[in-house]
Amino acid sequence: MNQWLIGVAVAFVVLAATTAVLTRDPARQAVVLSVLGLSLAVVFAVLQAPDVALSQLAVGTALTPLLILLTVRKVTRRPTRSDDRASDGDRAGTGDDGREQK
């Protein structure tokens, strides 16, 4: 029974890690990374390492994905009013198709 449980937990880790690698969106990667951390914590608990499992649960499941999400939010550029005015000023005197109007 114990070997079967270890095999299922390791298979879930492999599935979560593969999904994390194949995910392109950073916000979704953070969520998948959280699932990966949770699955690793389960593996450590099954292997009777509760201290490592708790550390993995805190860092790998909560803290690291949170930091990634905060970083993605900070780095993502949102248009501001000055950007809108600059883009409108660039198109002054042009028609909808970008050619100059007379």
pLDDT in tens, 11-47: 999 999 999 999 999 889 999 999 999 999 999 999 9
* pLDDT score of 97: 61
User: Is a pLDDT exceeding 60 seen at residue 90?
Assistant: no
Q: What's the pLDDT band for 88 if we cut at 50, 70, 90?
A: low
Given a contact cutoff of 8 angstroms between Cβ atoms, the answer to whether 30 and 61 are in contact is: no
Q: What's the pLDDT band for 2 if we cut at 50, 70, 90?
A: confident
Q: What's the pLDDT band for 51 if we cut at 50, 70, 90?
A: very high
pTM over the 0.85 mark: no
Given a contact cutoff of 8 angstroms between Cβ atoms, the answer to whether 21 and 43 are in contact is: no
Encode 10-32: b = buried (16+ Cβ within 10 Å), e = exposed.
Answer: bebbeebbebbeeeeeeeebbbb
